[in-house]
Amino acid sequence: MPITELLARNARLYADDTSLIEINPELKEKREVTWREFELVETKPSSTHRREMTWRQFDEMASRCANLLVSKDIHKGDKVALLLMNCLEWLPLYFGILRAGAVAVPLNYRYTAEEIAYCLDLAEADLLMFGPEFIGRVEAICDRMPRVRERIFVGADCPSFAESYDRLAADCAATAPRIDITDEDEAALYFSSGTTGFPKAILHTHRSLTSSCVTEQHHHGQTRSDNFLCIPPLYHTGAKMHWFGSLLAGSRAVLLRGVNPRWILETVSEEQVTIVWLLVPWAQDILDAIESGEVKLEEYALGQWRLMHIGAQPVPPSLIHRWKKYFPQHLYDTNYGLTESSGPGCVHLGVENVHKVGAIGRTGHDWEAMIADEAGCPVRPGEVGELVVKGPGVMKCYFNDPNATAAVLKDGWLSTGDMARMDEDGFIYLVDRKKDVIITGGENLYPVQIENFLREHEAIKDAAVIGIPDQRLGEIAAAVIELKPDRRCTAEEILAFCSSLPRYKRPRRIIFDAVPRNPTGKIEKPRLREKYCGGGIVATR
């Protein structure tokens, strides 16, 4: 079933029920001020911080968007890029693109103008829809997107180099155009995180998107009474594919524009949220805010919150132990996935397996997984190899890159690039990215293991371990340490803490700096290598 059919079904069955809510806390806290005779006489909160739509409105907006695209000579298989911050319009426009038979191309809102131009060219985009935050970046590259026939602006005060979506859509029908869409039709072109260089364009069909709905709902049991809080960026498969469980269940979801711990807890409380997906830094910030007294849990209504899950990166077991201290009633889960596997779910811990915290889980619903050696053969339990997966959500290909596709797709198996091991019970533990393995004096070091150990230190908020060149050993491990606010610690204290590690695993350099992460929470190690592998390191042996 094409994924667009799920939206049409919800509009038929749950027409007047709420589908999406957008919360913008910054607008809520903004005050309209009136002064008279040099005195402040009125303050009131903005009334536009919360917007919502029903399933009928969602469906109608998607249809208007689809008809607009058809009127602009967008045909089946054409590429339509979407460059928006998380907002109420994002998902309806995405489904409008799909309903037109086109291929949706979500763009990272952190992209520079140069990166936007690069991705538009790589995707062979025919049309660009963009929001007000990107006017300057899009204007800067207007003469460098020759394939883009149309630029459509979503918002007020349309710039002169684009057309207004609101004006165009007002004249379009609110019923779906008659376009035949099948499971095998191309649906979406996503870009990899780019943590190892320029992003690749990853092509998915309707079948892989629909399969992620089934997998997610099977794992987390969304029902009509659930309310999912979505904070990560919708351009990324992780956030959207977790929401796909809500789409399949016909349940509501909240899009929160902000990651402040108080905003998260207020939204969970006020909107009666039942499921929250967090990234590791946000979960850490919530715990830090609780422990510092910045937030007081008794001030919020959190009894309905049933599930907290984390994905997109390795999860330190110490974080979950801390979390359960303050939220003992919560079910906890983690999912593993990648853009090439249509987001999360190909490996899944399961809420019943909290005793296996530290593992990414077992094979997900409708998936197969294997730890393989260089020849592609399974290794024995406990041995380290590359994680490979197979299932209905595997990408069709890297767009226009048959060599890169052939390198990772073999007989339906997708090579993830992650080194892992499997225990006797079938639970998989990530060891590290294949490209991040540090070889020091002939020994393989897996940075994730050292990072998890370092995060056990009470003063450390985050840690990243990279290899830096060494004339004698080839590489040595350097630990970039981000301390918790108002905490102090010396390099000597960190090195003494590491003395319980095997000698070859101990960091040889300690660097105090912020740990950069991309919008999906992954450590941006290329940035750290570029910054610190050229010398000039402030460190201690």
Residue 460, number of CB atoms within 10 A of its CB: 21
Q: Are strands 186-191 and 438-440 parallel, antiparallel or unpaired?
A: unpaired
Partnered with residue 44 across adjacent β-strands are 32
Q: Could you tell me the two tokens for 145?
A: 């997107």
Q: Are strands 252-256 and 18-23 parallel, antiparallel or unpaired?
A: parallel
Per-residue pLDDT, 140: 96
Answer whether 0.75 is exceeded by the pTM. Answer: yes
Per-residue pLDDT, 202: 95
Per-residue pLDDT, 196: 45
Per-residue pLDDT, 111: 85
Per-residue pLDDT, 534: 59
Q: E-strand spans in 264-326?
A: 275-278, 307-310
In three-state secondary structure terms, 289 is helix
**pLDDT tens, per residue, the chain with 541 residues:** 899 999 999 999 999 999 999 999 887 766 443 334 434 444 444 457 899 999 999 999 999 999 999 999 999 999 999 999 999 999 999 999 999 999 999 998 888 898 899 999 999 999 999 999 999 999 999 999 989 999 999 999 999 999 999 999 999 999 999 999 999 999 999 998 654 456 789 999 999 999 999 999 999 999 999 999 999 889 988 888 899 999 999 999 999 999 999 999 999 999 999 999 988 878 988 999 999 999 999 999 999 999 998 876 667 788 898 999 999 999 999 988 888 998 778 999 999 998 888 899 999 999 999 999 988 899 999 998 999 999 999 999 999 999 999 999 999 999 998 889 999 999 999 876 667 778 676 566 778 888 888 988 989 999 999 888 876 666 789 999 999 988 899 999 999 999 888 787 889 999 999 998 876 677 888 788 888 885 433 333 3
In three-state secondary structure terms, 29 is helix
Do residues 188 and 204 touch, judged by C-beta distance below 8 A? yes
In three-state secondary structure terms, 419 is strand
Helix 237-249 and helix 4-13: axis angle, to 10°? 40
Distance CA 117, CA 119 (A): 6
Q: E-strand spans in 305-354?
A: 307-310, 331-338, 343-348
* Cα 288 from chain centroid (whole Å): 22
In three-state secondary structure terms, 387 is strand
Q: Which residues contact 207 (CB under 8 A, 6 or more apart)?
A: 183, 184, 392
In three-state secondary structure terms, 105 is strand
Per-residue pLDDT, 30: 60
3-state secondary structure 477-508: EEEEEEECCCCCCCHHHHHHHHHHCCHHHCCC
Q: E-strand spans in 173-302?
A: 186-191, 201-205, 227-230, 252-256, 275-278
Closest CA to 137 of 85, 97, 73: 85
Distance CA 275, CA 220 (A): 9
Helix 280-292 and helix 317-326: axis angle, to 10°? 40
Please give the C-alpha separations between residue 101 and each of 170, 179, 235, 274, in angstroms, as whole numbers: 21, 7, 19, 34
Q: Are strands 201-205 and 186-191 parallel, antiparallel or unpaired?
A: antiparallel
Closest CA to 275 of 299, 301, 254, 248: 254
Do residues 97 and 3 touch, judged by C-beta distance below 8 A? no
Closest CA to 391 of 207, 517, 524, 519: 207
Residue type, 166: D
Torsional class of 375: left (φ above 0), alpha (ψ -120 to 50), beta (otherwise) = alpha
All domains of the chain in start order, with CATH: 4-208 (3.40.50.12780), 259-433 (3.40.50.12780), 438-532 (3.30.300.30)
